[in-house]
Amino acid sequence: MKRFRFVIFSVFLTICLSGCSAAKVTQLNTGMPSQAQLNAYLEQNNIRPLDIATLQNSYLVIYQTDYEVGTYGIYLDSNGKINSWHTSSQFTPGHAAPVHVSYSAGDKAYAIVIINDEKVRNAAKKIVVQFSNGQTETAAKADKIGYIIQAVTPDKDTKFKSVSVVDANGANLYEMTDQ
């Protein structure tokens, strides 16, 4: 009898959990947070951005700590509440890549470039990103470490192709090509 009750309880629990997870409503990205909402979110979550870009109905924020580099997508959900997604990768403290490159493909294609090496950063004049659809985007080097460089007219098949950090003479200080 105890075994029968256990089986019935297990079946009931499985049905309840399945029903509960199926009933969960996904909150869609429906709007862009205000600058005040973005600033409050960054402060509340102790995020010190290297660069911020607008990507459709959201903000794309890149950051780096002593042991991690990452990206936040910050947006308003269908209830008007601020929400986010987050990706990151970790490294041994003090051993960040001289130039960190990450990217996203598709209809929101972009590249993230973080120049950690001081010599490369000081000599750099521009960052050139090539995408698979033939588009080339260039960012003039500013007094910052991180850059978000977006494909202006991506489509669902747009992929990252290469990034170059270039000096005033046009020489590559750093180059990465997606194989």
Inter-residue long-range contacts of 51-55, CB under 8 Å, 24+ positions, other chains counted: 51/112, 51/144, 51/146, 51/147, 51/148, 52/148, 53/110, 53/148, 53/150, 55/108, 55/110, 55/150
Least trusted range by pLDDT, from 3-17, 79-93, 141-155: 3-17
Least trusted range by pLDDT, from 3-17, 44-58, 147-161: 3-17
Q: Band the pLDDT of 129: cuts 50, 70, 90.
A: very high
Residue listed under structure tokens 């029968």: 4
Q: CA-to-CA distance for 136 and 121, rounded, in angstroms?
A: 21
**What would the mean pLDDT of 108-136 be, rounded to a whole number?**
94
Average per-residue pLDDT for the chain: 83
* Residue 154 placed within a domain: yes
Residue range 49-63, pLDDT digits in tens: 999 999 888 999 999
Q: Could you list the residue range(s) of the whole structural domain that residue 30 is in?
A: 25-96
Q: Are residues 57 and 77 in the same domain?
A: yes
Quick check: 13 pLDDT over 80? no
Q: Are residues 109 and 175 in the same domain?
A: yes
Number of domains in the chain: 2
Q: Are residues 168 and 118 in the same domain?
A: yes
| pLDDT the model gives residue 47 | 96
Q: Is the dihedral of CA 124, 128, 129, 130 positive or negative?
A: negative
| pLDDT the model gives residue 123 | 95
Quick check: 4 pLDDT over 90? no
73 to each of 29, 56, 80, 88, 102, how far by Cα in Å? 10, 11, 15, 12, 15
Q: In what order do the strands lie in the sheet with 160-167?
A: 136-140, 124-131, 160-167, 172-177
* Residue 12 placed within a domain: no
Q: Band the pLDDT of 179: cuts 50, 70, 90.
A: low
* Residue 11 placed within a domain: no
Q: Are residues 112 and 92 in the same domain?
A: no
**What is the CATH classification number for the domain harbouring 157?**
2.60.40
Q: CA-to-CA distance for 169 and 70, rounded, in angstroms?
A: 31
Quick check: 31 pLDDT over 90? no
Q: Are residues 72 and 113 in the same domain?
A: no
Q: Are residues 92 and 103 in the same domain?
A: no
**What would the mean pLDDT of 145-162 be, rounded to a whole number?**
91
Q: Are residues 41 and 110 in the same domain?
A: no
pTM, rounded to two decimals = 0.78
Q: CA-to-CA distance for 90 and 139, rounded, in angstroms?
A: 26
Which of 45, 116, 48 minimizes the C-alpha distance to 85? 45
**What would the mean pLDDT of 72-90 be, rounded to a whole number?**
93
In contact, 159 and 131? CB cutoff 8 Å: yes
Last-in-domain residue among 78, 96, 114: 96
